[in-house]
Amino acid sequence: MKQNIDSNNKKYTFDQKVDAYTKVYRSNLRHLSIKNQMSIKTFGLIFIFMVILVIITSIASVWQAKAESSKVYTILLITLICVFLIMLVVSLYYLCLLFVEYSLIKSIGDNKDEEVIIKAVKKYVKFGLKKYPEKQIKMLEEF
pLDDT in tens, 58-80: 888 888 877 777 788 888 888 99
In a domain, 18, yes or no: no
Domain count along the chain? 1
Q: Which domain holds residue 65?
A: 25-142
> Within a domain: residue 59?
yes
Asked if residues 100 and 123 have their Cβ atoms less than 8 Å apart, the reply is yes
- 116 domain-assigned: yes
What does the alpha-carbon distance between residue 64 and residue 108 come to, in Å, rounded to a whole number?
53
Question: Could you tell me if residue 138 is inside a domain?
Answer: yes
Task: Look at residue 81 and tell me if it is in a domain.
Answer: yes
Check: CB of residue 76 under 8 Å from CB of residue 103.
no
Query: What does the pLDDT look like over 87-132, one tens digit per residue?
Result: 999 999 889 888 888 888 888 777 777 787 788 888 878 776 667 7
* Inside any domain, residue 12: no
